[in-house]
Structure formats: structure tokens, C-alpha cells
Amino acid sequence: MNESLSPNGASKDNDVSKDIVWHEDTVTREHREVNLDQRGCVVWFTGLSGCGKSTIANELDRLLIEHGAASTLLDGDNVRHGLCAPPAVLAVEHGDEFATRFGLGFSAIDREENIRRIGAVTTLMASAGLITLAAFVSPYRRDRDRVRKMVETSGQEGDFFEVFVDTPIEVCQQRDPKGLYKKAIAGEIKNFTGISDPYEAPEKPEIHLTHREDATPTDQAKEIFDALLRCGVISH
């Protein structure tokens, strides 16, 4: 890792606050990875709502655990209950002023902060040697690229695996497990990706999962699992 950078990619010498100092750990990332017999990394699932991100990520998590790997999974809906909670959730415990300042909705700038927070967390987890799975719509290419930079600055190039779950919007609408597309089309949900907000597909994802009727989530998870084996993230 470049010693002039902190793991989030910011310069240690040009921080806004000189009172915030980066402390190197006594136990290094290399120590943790040797102890776990794996390489810490982030597997980032992106795609439209209903494309299958969470289902495939959960299957991959299961395959990794069964293999003896140390993995963890961050899911888009789950983090909205805590780390990236909307104002209405925060207001209950913290009041309106706090909720307005720190709660996240679904505007472009809120989505940017949502992914920034998650990116920081996944970077810390990968630095601890964990295979970190993240399943988020993450519609903007710039935000995903920023997470890649954070992860690879903390470790090395190749520690970030972008997985594009490329399911046609027509299929996602047919599935619509939470009824979100129906609400978005009816105008009941604003800033909904694919309907009233854009989705910027990855240009060069490490893994591109195209929609196939004969491919199960386990099949697709196995494809990613095999890629992690080939890259040396996990051993045979």
C-alpha cells in the first residue's frame, strides 16, 4: 500500500484536519490473511432491483462458508435499517434534526453517500482478510469506481471484483418481489432506478452474469466461486 495514502485513498499529508492521524495496526493485513489462508477482497454485485443480486450473493456466501472461507455479506435492504437508514427510521430514536442531517433517502446525492459509507465498511472488512460480498443496486458508475479505488488503495489491484447481474428490466418487473416497480410506475416511489432514475451499467466488470432461464442462482454463484479460486483469493 502506498504509505502516503490512508486506506480510503485520502492523502495522509493533506487531510483537512491535522488532528486526525492514521494509526498503523500492529497486526497487519498480511498477518490476518495468512491466519485465514485467503486474500481479503470485495465482491461487489450491481444490477437493477429484482435482478437476483441478493439471491446469488447469498448462494456464494454459502459456498464460501462450506469451503471453509471467512466471508460476510452486506445487503442493500439490510444496511438501510442501520448504517444508511432513511430519516423516518432515525427520527424515532434520534429526533428530526439528527434524522434530517444523517438520514439517507434515494436522491442522487443520498445514493452517493450510501455507497460511500458502504465502500468504507467493505474496505475495512477486506483489510481484515474477509471475503466481503456487497449486493447493492449502486446505479452510478462513478460511485462504484470510487469504492474500487478505496478497496485497491487499501490492498492491491485486483481486490475488487465487480459482478454485473445483467437481468433485463422486463424480467425484473415480472419478478417484482416487493412490488416496487408497480409503485414506481404508478408514481408512488420517486427516484426509482430503471423507471425514473438511470442505471449506468458497468463497462468492464470482472464478472458479467447474463440472464439465462436455465441458470440457477447456485450455478451463477459457482461461476463467481470458481473465479475466486482462479485468482487465488481462496485455495483449493
Chain segment 40-61, per-residue pLDDT in tens: 999 999 999 999 999 999 999 9
Q: How far apart are CA 136 and CA 114, in angstroms?
A: 10
Query: Would the annotation count 73 as a binding residue?
Result: no
Q: Clarify whether 138 is annotated catalytic.
A: yes
Chain segment 98-157, per-residue pLDDT in tens: 999 999 999 999 999 999 999 999 999 999 999 999 999 999 999 999 999 999 999 999
Residue 172 has pLDDT above 50, yes or no: yes
Q: Which domains occur in the chain, in start order?
A: 31-230 (3.40.50.300)
Q: How far apart are CA 190 and CA 128, in angstroms?
A: 37
Predicted TM-score (pTM) of this structure: 0.90
pLDDT at position 9, please? Answer: 56
Residue 233 has pLDDT above 50, yes or no: yes
Q: How far apart are CA 102 and CA 4, in angstroms?
A: 30
Chain segment 186-228, per-residue pLDDT in tens: 999 999 999 999 999 999 999 999 999 999 999 999 999 999 9
How would residue 3 be classed by pLDDT, with cut points 50, 70 and 90? very low
Query: Would the annotation count 84 as a binding residue?
Result: no
Alpha helices in the chain (DSSP H): 29-36, 53-67, 76-79, 87-94, 96-102, 108-127, 141-154, 169-175, 180-185, 217-230
pLDDT at position 23, please? Answer: 87
Burial class (CB in 10 A: 0-12, 13-18, 19+), 155: buried
How would residue 14 be classed by pLDDT, with cut points 50, 70 and 90? low
pLDDT at position 21, please? Answer: 86
Residue 234 has pLDDT above 80, yes or no: yes
Catalytic residue among 138, 154, 196, 235: 138
Query: Would the annotation count 47 as a binding residue?
Result: yes
